[in-house]
Amino acid sequence: MSAINKVVLAYSGGLDTSVIAKWLQETYDCEVVTFTADIGQGEEVEPARAKAKALGIKEIYIDDLREEYVRDFVYPMFRANTIYEGEYLLGTSIARPLIAKRLIEIANETGADAISHGATGKGNDQVRFELGAYALKPGIKVIAPWREWDLNSREKLMAYCEQHNIPVDFSSKKKKSPYSMDANLLHISYEGGNLEDPYWEAEEDMWRWSVSPEAAPDKPTYIELGYKNGDPVTLDGKELSPATMLETLNKLAGDNGIGRLDLVENRYVGMKSRGCYETPGGTILLRAHRAIESITLDREVAHLKDELMPRYAKLIYNGYWWSPERKMLQAAIDESQAFVNGVVRLKLYKGNVIVVGRKSENSLFDEAIATFEDDAGAYDQKDAEGFIKLNALRMRIAANKGRSQL
């Protein structure tokens, strides 16, 4: 008799998770609950219900998490101006803690004693899902079929489907991509296939969300983003919900060839991996947020945030969203955003996000002091002499003691 009575499966309705659902029933002789999350992947999620029913699943969860995803995960991350290894905007990484949270919530609601996912044993997602699950429910059992079974190829998965009469319908899907893709409201990623050669240039027809910069309009698009406490709340003066904001920015940026990235990154498990990403709206958000912070943040606060950001980014990439150290950093980051209010004006043009203006009632920019014209005594330039000498004191002492730098 299996020790597992009920398991909650993160279920997309595709080949892998359909096989997993049946495999769990057979291998563990347990009841399976499916959970399908709508986080803006751009595909219908409701068909997963019929597919789950065909597998004999009685408890089926299909949840629209788009607003929660952007409000509680994407926006807090962007308050830190977060990028991993100088480029990656963490579109896949930031979605995983939300899915882990909902898996545990459903496990609690249904009395399940295990959760399961379709992440492979080579990638980061297995770590992200499981670290989140253990942080939220320490005693939960996690079943990762890719680390247990021998169904390690598409051919074997298809044979399993045929053997067990699993209905996997691919006819409704658009043009089949040769790449492994993952999408949500923040980004879409492409891996595998020809991209496994890091010198291979991705084909133009691979990209789904953006035109090439060469094909973008010759006329720039101007937009204004309004910020409150570090989060974008208005677009051209109109209030938008978090999910609607990101969805709208994705369209505007994609139409202007913005947001493409080709990256070789370092996975947490130790290997290097090449991926291509489209993060159109996120690219705008990063540039705009830094622009509004440039006039509203104190210098040392801004510099400290920049020093903390790589550590914060690594925590998210490696799956530590629910860790105490990430929460501690988030508290500091959120505290810094109290006066990050105002409007940023941007020009979108052929793959570029260009800041052309910023204003705020909380601005620390003082034109009377910064001007190159007559400042009417607002700043005494003579003060600079003592300031410079004091800062040079230690170096002058060292030089006088024979520690010449020449």
Hey, which residues are catalytic here?
16, 96, 125, 180
Instruction: Give me the numbers of helices (H) and strands (E) for the chain, helices first please.
Output: 13, 14
Find all residues with CB under 8 Å of 151, minimum gap 6, and list them.
19, 23, 145, 157, 160
Closest to 187 measured CA to CA, from 337, 347, 74, 18: 74
Contact 295, 205 (CB under 8 A): no
Q: How far apart, in whole angstroms, are the C-alpha atoms of residue 377 and residue 15?
A: 72
Residue listed under structure tokens 């320490």: 138
Under 8 Å between Cβ of 313 and 79: no
Per-residue tokens: 173:
């899907």
Round to whole Å and give the CA distance between 286 and 291.
9
CA 277/CA 209 separation, integer angstroms: 10
H or E stretch covering 331:
helix 324-335
Radius of gyration of the chain (CA): 25
User: Residue 285 and residue 353: Cα distance in Å, rounded?
Assistant: 10
DSSP conformational letter for 203: P
Contact 235, 248 (CB under 8 A): yes
Beta carbons of 32 and 24 less than 8 angstroms apart: yes
Type of residue found at 343: V
Closest CA to 154 of 274, 44, 277, 18: 18
Q: What end-to-end distance do the CA atoms of the chain give, in Å?
A: 79
Identity at 95, one-letter amino acid code: A
Q: Give the Cα separation of 90 and 78 in Å (integer).
A: 10
Tokens 């963490």 locate to 90
Give the position of tokens 């490696």.
318
